[in-house]
Amino acid sequence: MNRFKYVSLLWKHNTLMSLKAHKNLSSKLAKPFSTRENNESILNNKCNVANFNDTERNKQVKCHRCHSDISVDVVPFNCQSCTALITIDVFKIFNFFELFDIREVNYDIDKNYLRKKFNDIQKIYHPDRNSQNQEIEKINEVSSYLNHAYRVLSNDVDRAIYLMNILYDYKIAEEENLEDDQFLFEIVQINEEINNPDANIASLTKEYKEKYEDYVGKIKLYFKEKDFNSIVSSLKKLKFINKVLERLQNL
């Protein structure tokens, strides 16, 4: 079977199963976080996450080489005493935004600033620059961690998922149901259209890039307004739109 036809059929099956499951369960399950009380509970989780980070930073952090105290008021890169490069354990005290000196934990970020800070830090930790360093394995570990943090923050979908985790202690399941029947059918139809040999791929790509940017804009607003339910709903849709775009761009 043609590979793209198979992918389309598989996606159609999974989407329809999700829709069927939603219809069967909607009468039995209450929508999560639909009341003001539950939204307040979510905001309390945000405070718990922040307190955890504060607790971690109150611990004494010592240099792995000379055992001197290391200040973690800001992200350190070298030991102030022996100049040893900081190991990954210290970096994990900070969230990804703090690693790149982004002061406000928010969905709407300056990606040019993020890229500049990432490049500046990688100049310090890049494996090629430290190839003769006896602690190259520790340095490679930090470099990989920084690469991961950068990829998460620079990706609109992954950044939202990460924020939902650190702000609201909420993780969106990979196959979580979407509660919008019309949108689900649209996804089924677009995948059938992509499979059509006569499909105008350029036009569809343009259309879904615009949809993508539209939902990114909505999510920015919903994070600003702390509208939890709208963030979750729009993020689920953005994930589907992103998959459509990936498929279009791989044709």
Q: Which two tokens stand for residue 168?
A: 């609201």
Asked if residues 26 and 34 have their Cβ atoms less than 8 Å apart, the reply is no
Domain count, the chain: 2
Q: Is the pLDDT of residue 131 over 50?
A: yes
88, 197: one domain:
no
pLDDT band at 57 (very low <50, low <70, confident <90, very high): low
Question: Average pLDDT in the 87-110 region?
Answer: 96
Instruction: Report pLDDT for 50.
Output: 40
Residues in the chain, total: 251
133, 223: one domain:
no
Q: Which domain holds residue 71?
A: 36-168
pLDDT over 90 for what percent of the chain?
A: 63
Asked if residues 104 and 113 have their Cβ atoms less than 8 Å apart, the reply is no
131, 163: one domain:
yes
Q: Is the pLDDT of residue 224 over 50?
A: yes
Q: Is the pLDDT of residue 8 over 70?
A: no
3-state secondary structure of 103: coil
187, 244: one domain:
yes
pLDDT (tens digit, 9 = 90+) per residue, 152-179? Answer: 999 999 999 999 999 999 988 776 678 8
Supply angle C-alpha 137, 140, 146, rounded to 5: 145
Torsion sign across C-alpha atoms 136, 138, 141, 147 = negative
Boundary of a domain, candidates 117, 141, 168: 168
Boundary of a domain, candidates 144, 168, 192: 168
Q: Is 33 left (phi over 0), alpha (psi -120 to 50) or beta?
A: left
3-state secondary structure of 85: strand
Within 13 Å, how many C-alpha atoms sit on residue 174's CB side?
A: 1
User: Look-up: residue for tokens 């994930």?
Assistant: 239
C-alpha distance from residue 141 to each of 123, 135, 175, 185, 202 (Å): 15, 10, 31, 44, 41
72, 146: one domain:
yes
Q: Is the pLDDT of residue 29 over 90?
A: no
The CATH number for 225's domain is 1.20.1280
**Rounded to whole angstroms, how far apart are CA atoms 165 and 171?**
6
164, 183: one domain:
no
14, 76: one domain:
no
Mean per-residue pLDDT of the chain = 82
22, 60: one domain:
no
47, 120: one domain:
yes
The CATH number for 152's domain is 1.10.287.110
What is the maximum alpha-carbon separation in the chain? 67
130, 163: one domain:
yes
Q: Is the pLDDT of residue 12 over 70?
A: no
